[in-house]
């Protein structure tokens, strides 16, 4: 017979469905609060779910490896969800085709700016070389960013945290900031958010409109490619010419 709450938790934790259920419940709570707030971007359901899950894991002493073993089905669904982003993009194909030259310029400028601004600010604050390399690809989607960080001497685990933080901040404040600076076209807003805030930002763009979501999905994919090409070159150049390889 189970005698106390701690033993009950140990018993439940043996089931792989526990952490999957916790993940879904945490997100549903976040989504409920998001809708109750009047769908304000700052009440981000992903952030709320992360806070809830981290709190539960810390309180119960469960390791991330144990959590992931049970919740990996959600991770598996990221693949089909990413592929599904092609649907709104296909429906907006003509708009994308006519905007191709502007999108190409925006991609290059945006990707270079995201890499340089992050690395230069981090360097100015006195961060070591491996931290600088970790933050350089933070605007690419997580698997790509972690691979780039490992290649250029960064810490993939730190990069993953920075990527998620970047996405959440972009989803919370991206559309507001863009509106303040006069960027009001949904396609332009979506492309900017997807370029800087990858999948989490794209989820927010889809809530704004299908047009914004389509351009955000396009930017997310293209920036993954651009960052994988530009980040190693730019970081190597900065290390060589600005602060030297010794840092």
Name 116's Cβ contacts closer than 8 Å, sequence gap at least 6.
Answer: 234, 238
More confident residue, 74 or 186: 186
**Of the given ranges (56-70, 113-127, 190-204), which has the lowest mean pLDDT?**
56-70
* Domain residue extents for the chain: 5-84, 88-241
Six token digits for residue 98: 């006519």
Give the model's pLDDT for residue 15.
59
Mean confidence (pLDDT) of the chain: 85
Helix 100-124 vs helix 186-208: crossing angle, to nearest 10: 80
The pLDDT confidence band at residue 244, using thresholds 50, 70 and 90, is low
Confidence check: pLDDT of 1 > 50: no
Q: What is the C-alpha radius of gyration for the chain, rounded to an integer number of angstroms?
A: 20
pTM of the model: 0.80
Average pLDDT over residues 194-210: 88
The pLDDT confidence band at residue 226, using thresholds 50, 70 and 90, is very high
Cα distances (angstroms) measured from residue 156 to each of 136, 140, 163: 11, 13, 10
Confidence check: pLDDT of 6 > 90: no
Q: Count CB atoms within 10 A of the CB of residue 113.
A: 13
The pLDDT confidence band at residue 231, using thresholds 50, 70 and 90, is very high
- Among 129, 194, 125, 121, which Cα is nearest to 158's? 129
Confidence check: pLDDT of 81 > 50: yes
Average pLDDT over residues 95-110: 91
Q: Count CB atoms within 10 A of the CB of residue 242.
A: 11
The pLDDT tens digits of the residues spanning 146-158 come to: 999 999 989 998 9
The CA-based angle 103-107-109, given to 5 degrees, is 115
| 80 in Cβ contact with 54 (< 8 Å) | no
């Amino acid at each position: 017979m189970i005698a106390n709450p701690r033993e009950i938790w140990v018993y439940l934790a043996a089931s792989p469905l526990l952490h999957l259920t916790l993940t879904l419940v945490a997100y549903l709570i976040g989504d409920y609060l998001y809708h109750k707030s009047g769908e304000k971007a700052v009440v981000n359901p992903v952030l709320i779910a992360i806070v809830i899950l981290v709190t539960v894991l810390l309180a119960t002493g469960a390791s991330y490896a144990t959590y992931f073993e049970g919740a990996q089905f959600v991770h598996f669904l990221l693949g089909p969800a990413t592929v599904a982003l092609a649907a709104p993009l296909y429906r907006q194909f003509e708009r994308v085709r006519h905007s191709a030259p502007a999108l190409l310029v925006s991609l290059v400028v945006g990707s270079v700016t995201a890499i340089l601004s992050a690395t230069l600010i981090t360097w100015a604050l006195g961060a070591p070389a491996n931290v600088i390399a970790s933050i350089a690809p933070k605007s690419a989607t997580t698997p790509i960013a972690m691979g780039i960080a490992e290649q250029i001497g960064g810490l993939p685990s730190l990069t993953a945290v920075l990527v998620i933080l970047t996405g959440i901040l972009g989803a919370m404040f991206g559309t507001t900031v863009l509106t303040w600076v006069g960027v009001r076209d949904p396609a332009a807003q979506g492309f900017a958010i997807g370029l800087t805030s990858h999948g989490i930002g794209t989820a927010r763009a889809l809530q704004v409109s299908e047009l914004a979501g389509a351009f955000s999905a396009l930017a997310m994919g293209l920036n993954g490619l651009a960052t994988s090409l530009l980040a190693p070159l730019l970081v190597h150049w900065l290390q060589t010419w600005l602060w030297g390889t010794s840092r």
